[in-house]
Amino acid sequence: MHVSLVTETYPPEINGVALTVQALAAGLTAAGHRVELVRPRQKLDPMTPDTGQRLVRGLALPRYPGLQLGLPSRRALQRAWTLDRPDAVYIATEGPLGHSALTAARQLGIPAVSGFHTRFDTYAGHYGIAWLRPAVEAALRRFHRRSLATLVPTQALADEITALGIDNARLLRRAVDTTLFHPGRRDPDLRRTWGADETTMVVLFVGRIAPEKNLDLAIRSWRAIKTAHPDSRCLWVGDGPSRRELEAAHTDILFTGLLHGELLARYYASADLFPFPSLSETFGNVVLEAMASGLGVIAFDQAAAHEHMIDGRNGFTVASTESDLFLQRCVELSSTPGLRQVLGEQARHSVAGLAPQRVIAEFAAILASISQEPDHAVPTATPV
């Protein structure tokens, strides 16, 4: 099958969407499918793109200088897809490039599927523009209803977007590389660079450092743990618009910046506790990575945690309104190494079956089934 993947973010940019699309591209290619990647040109890209990549113009995203929006490219995509027609198009982002790709695919009668990766409607409140939320919801609804299916990683998210009026949700679960993220990568030498021996409590946060990530509770959880264990250490892996302010205000936290691959896996495995206070996730890949690494995880009962964690069996989950209980669980798990070990072992066992190959096969099957449905052409559509 010939599949075109369209995204406005891609590695070396590090975020859930970029890494998910990269995994889909690599997995489809390894399974013998032909993949075209459509994305904005990045600063370090060569003038001549790699085979299989179609680069378009981009524009820096406000407050996220490391990320871009792809500029409208409908005509270019229509020309390209007329000459070399994909069997299906997957559109991962709802920006100008995503809209262009969806319009081009509909006008050419190419089956197009979208992915719902980010709750932009809920982000409005975190950036002081809550009054825009109804408009953002309406835009998301219009976009995703134009695709033949909207892929989501959890049944809960499928229910949420159905309530928004997006009536074409299809479930595609996320995978985690349990070979890469593995407790065996624990590194005492790395811990020593953090000022930690094997008895020191090391708390790890991984994620975008941005207002929508419930940063205040992240800091409060670290302070509660440090009060109980004064010699504990805290690491924060990631970057974002709030990093500079937090780094200046909390000099006892080691901010590492972005990490990936084997080094990121070593950081996970070499830590002990993984509080995940975000309430804005459509999924939260980092929860699966922490579970695969055998960490003690505390999270709110939603997204990946709701789908894969059982409170008290393979981690702790709390209701989204229970911030004080979240803090209590952090202190409890930091103070009971035996329980933390048991929960970490069960967490690892819980995600053992989430093999990337299985998810890729499900993704390809969804695209194949949709590509066989008739009447993909649309006589008229609003150009983008």
Among 295, 251, 264, 301, which residue's Cα sits nearest to residue 281? Answer: 301
One-character DSSP codes across 189-213: HHHHHTT--TTS-EEEEES--SGGG
Residue 163 burial (CB count, 10 A): 8
Is 383 domain-assigned?
A: no
Is 235 domain-assigned?
A: yes
Is 209 domain-assigned?
A: yes
Predicted local confidence at residue 51, as pLDDT: 65
In a shared domain, residues 166 and 18? yes
For 32-41, 46-55, 321-330, which range has the lowest pLDDT when averaged over its residues? Answer: 46-55
Are the C-beta atoms of residues 180 and 262 closer than 8 Å to each other?
A: yes
Quick one: pLDDT band at residue 13, thresholds 50, 70, 90? confident
Q: Phi/psi class of residue 185: alpha, beta or left (left: φ > 0; alpha: ψ in -120 to 50)?
A: alpha
In a shared domain, residues 342 and 247? yes
Domain CATH for 67? 3.40.50.2000
User: Domain limits at 251?
Assistant: 183-350
Strands (E), the chain: 2-6, 34-40, 53-56, 58-61, 64-70, 88-91, 112-115, 150-152, 169-171, 202-206, 233-237, 253-257, 273-276, 296-300, 316-318
What's the token pair of residue 296?
A: 């003690």
**CA 38 to the chain's CA centroid:** 19
Predicted local confidence at residue 76, as pLDDT: 95
In a shared domain, residues 7 and 149? yes
In a shared domain, residues 204 and 158? no
Is 381 domain-assigned?
A: no
In a shared domain, residues 104 and 190? no
Q: Please state whether beta strands 2-6 and 88-91 pair in parallel, antiparallel, or not at all (unpaired).
A: parallel
**AA identity, residue 89:** V
The arithmetic mean of pLDDT across residues 313-332, rounded, is 97
In a shared domain, residues 164 and 224? no
* 236-247 per-residue burial string, b: 16 or more CB within 10 A, e: under 16: bbbbbbbbeebe
**pLDDT value at 379 more than 90:** no
Among 154, 180, 381, which residue's Cα sits nearest to residue 290? Answer: 180
The per-residue pLDDT of the chain, averaged, comes to 90
In a shared domain, residues 341 and 202? yes
SS3 content of the chain, % helix, strand, coil (to 5): 45, 20, 35
In a shared domain, residues 82 and 216? no
Residue with tokens 């929960």: 343
pTM of the predicted protein model: 0.82
Give the count of domains, the chain: 2
Predicted local confidence at residue 172, as pLDDT: 93
Is 377 domain-assigned?
A: no
Predicted local confidence at residue 15, as pLDDT: 81
Is 364 domain-assigned?
A: yes
Quick one: pLDDT band at residue 73, thresholds 50, 70, 90? very high
The arithmetic mean of pLDDT across residues 243-272, rounded, is 96
Predicted local confidence at residue 345, as pLDDT: 97
In a shared domain, residues 296 and 150? no
Are the C-beta atoms of residues 173 and 362 closer than 8 Å to each other?
A: yes
Are the C-beta atoms of residues 168 and 150 closer than 8 Å to each other?
A: yes
The arithmetic mean of pLDDT across residues 294-300, rounded, is 98
Distances in Å between the Cα of 108 and the Cα atoms of 86, 90, 105, 378 are 10, 15, 5, 8
Predicted local confidence at residue 30, as pLDDT: 94
CA distance 49 to 89: 20
In a shared domain, residues 162 and 271? no
Could you read off the pLDDT of 214-239 as tens digits, one per residue? 999 999 999 999 999 999 999 999 99
What's the token pair of residue 288?
A: 């699966």
CA distance 195 to 248: 20
CA distance 181 to 261: 9
The arithmetic mean of pLDDT across residues 190-201, rounded, is 96
Is 382 domain-assigned?
A: no
DSSP letter assigned to residue 15: S
What sign results for the dihedral spanned by CA atoms 262, 264, 270, 275? negative
Quick one: pLDDT band at residue 67, thresholds 50, 70, 90? low
Are the C-beta atoms of residues 16 and 78 closer than 8 Å to each other?
A: no
In a shared domain, residues 73 and 104? yes
In a shared domain, residues 195 and 225? yes
How many residues in the chain?
A: 384
One-character DSSP codes across 252-321: TEEEEE---HHHHHHHHHH-SEEEE--S-BS--HHHHHHHHTT-EEEEESSHHHHHH--TTTSSEEE-TT
Is 361 domain-assigned?
A: yes
> Percentage of the chain with pLDDT > 90?
73
